[in-house]
Amino acid sequence: MIVINKPSGIPVHPAGRYNFNSVIEIMKAERGPGWIAYPCNRLDRLTSGIMFVAKHPKSAERLGEQIKERSVRKEYIARVIGDFPDGEVVCNQPILSISPKLGLNRVRAEGKSARTVFKKLAYYPPRKPRVWPSPDEKSELSPPSTKEKSMPWTRKEGYSIVRCLPVTGRTHQIRVHLQHLGHPIQNDPIYANQKVWGISLGCNDPDALENTDEDIVSRLNRMGKDDVADAVAYHDEMVDQYYKKKAEKMSGELCEICDTPLYTDPGAQELSLWLHSLRYEDSGGSWSYVSPLPDWALPPSGCEGPTEVGNMDELVEAVKDENPELAA
């Protein structure tokens, strides 16, 4: 078994415009074309962190069964918009795939059961807090701009680093549950995208009647890469730098080999999602793998905060009565 700390921006398998720059193909290039990789857990292209690659199908099958039986405990770390609530927060909302083609999911009563436990590790306020005038102060202070009025998520200032324990393993489960709780991942190009979800960003689905599944899918399907980048709910001191960079652009050139239209090189902000697979461990305590916190989860310059996380027991406490298989 090979255990790696996958960088963000690299898919596990060749897909779309990625023919060779994938985890599997990179490992094959290092070990020879006859070498076969057997991925045991899959991470989205933008997600970083711990990943298991078996060297033999029996090893992959064995670990796959452990994960399916929930005898393997997983922990992720995420950077989300605003000040996340204190204490353990458990989200039990079912998740439905509303567009397998786009990989788009949403909280829906008819969806598959899903359960995630969250706990805030740290909160970092903005360096320059916004001043929001109250109604009776508007005559003395400048009113919010039209842009600010249209984006109420800007009132959730700063960001939180949140520990995430997915009890089930639905597609985009952590991203969807964080969005539903009103604290989407800060740079999520889909679930923190106001042009897709509206000004509420899908929080508690208050606009469900206006934003039908068909509306959401249609908006995302019509958006180009530039539009997706422009709609992400960035704020705080990062916003100016982000909007200067934006997204990849069509270069007007074609690939010399396959005539595929080429994009310009992406910036770092297009290759990363602030979601990291931090830890995998056997619930029986026979093995455990944990990675360091990614740079974006460390305290910003001039601030104090945690640089590592403790064990998983405190998170497990919140769910082990209903999920005894999680208890060590």
Catalytic site positions: 44
Q: Output the CA–CA distances (angstroms, integers) from residue 180 to 51, 216, 220, in the order listed.
A: 27, 15, 18
Residue 128 CA: distances (Å) to CA of 124, 233, 235, 236, 257: 12, 17, 11, 8, 50
Measured CA to CA, the distance from residue 305 to residue 314 in angstroms comes to 19
In this structure, are residues 94 and 111 in contact, taking their beta carbons and an 8 Å threshold? yes
Please state, in angstroms and rounded to a whole number, the distance separating the CA atoms of residues 245 and 267.
7
> Are 269 and 245 spatial neighbours (Cβ–Cβ below 8 Å)?
yes
Distance CA 84, CA 182 (A): 9
